Amino acid sequence: MKRTLISLASVAVILSLTACGSMKSVTNSDEQIRNQKLATSFVSEGIKIETDCAWYKPWKSDADCEIVSIESVGTAPTNGNTTNNRKTALVHAGQNAKANIAHFIREDITSTRVTSTIAKNIEKASDKLNAKSGGTVEMTDEEAKKTHSVRENANNTAHDLTQTVRANSVAVLKGFKIIKQEVVGDQEVAVTIRWDKQSEATANRLARKFSK
């Protein structure tokens, strides 16, 4: 009996060391910040919707398809390899996953374009006339050759175009739960959230129970 307990304890220690060795960190904790690299293979965010169209009922159309589950993936950079940075990035990625659902359900787009035109015109004149001051100006052909008039016109026009696009979405999400948190790059994490009928029913029951 004593030997059995010792064996079980040894197995527990081995399993614990194996589990710790399989954990994936953001970056090497001993690596200095200047040696950290930015991951180039980012995980794209997206939404996965599973439906049940009851193919065994030919009289039902595509409009009768029932939504079974919804999954959304959100990512966020860690900007470092500390535990605090990873925790903050996981919260950020979870919020991005929820925002993806809200923007998928409804999104209000506002676009504004403003064009400003600034025109500046400068004209300079320089006239030189070989004549005596006062009296009538009379010139011979030779004097006319020595007389010149210069006109300079400079135009400066600037066009400034400003475009602002705003995307706003408001939605109430109920029954979504986090099913996966993982490190997907040297400095990037991803969070996956999921909704299904069971999680929504549980959320509704808890809301009724604790609202009294």
The whole-model pTM stands at 0.58
Give 121's DSSP letter.
E
pLDDT of residue 121: 84
pLDDT of residue 176: 94
Helical (H) or strand (E) element with 2: helix 2-22
pLDDT of residue 67: 84
The amino acid present at 207, given as its one-letter code, is: A
The answer for 35, left when phi > 0, alpha when psi is -120 to 50, beta otherwise, is: alpha
β-pair type (46-52, 188-196):
unpaired
The amino acid present at 76, given as its one-letter code, is: A
Name residues of the chain where pLDDT drops below 70. Answer: 1-44, 54-64, 126-139, 141, 143-149, 212
Closest C-alpha among 72, 71, 75 to residue 90 = 75
The whole-angstrom separation of Cα 111 and Cα 182 is 36
pLDDT in tens, 89-104: 999 999 999 999 999 9
The whole-angstrom separation of Cα 171 and Cα 107 is 10
pLDDT of residue 96: 94
Count of residues making up the chain: 212
pLDDT of residue 44: 64
pLDDT of residue 72: 93
Q: Which percentage of the chain shows pLDDT scores above 70? A: 63
Q: Is the dihedral of CA 36, 40, 41, 44 positive or negative?
A: positive
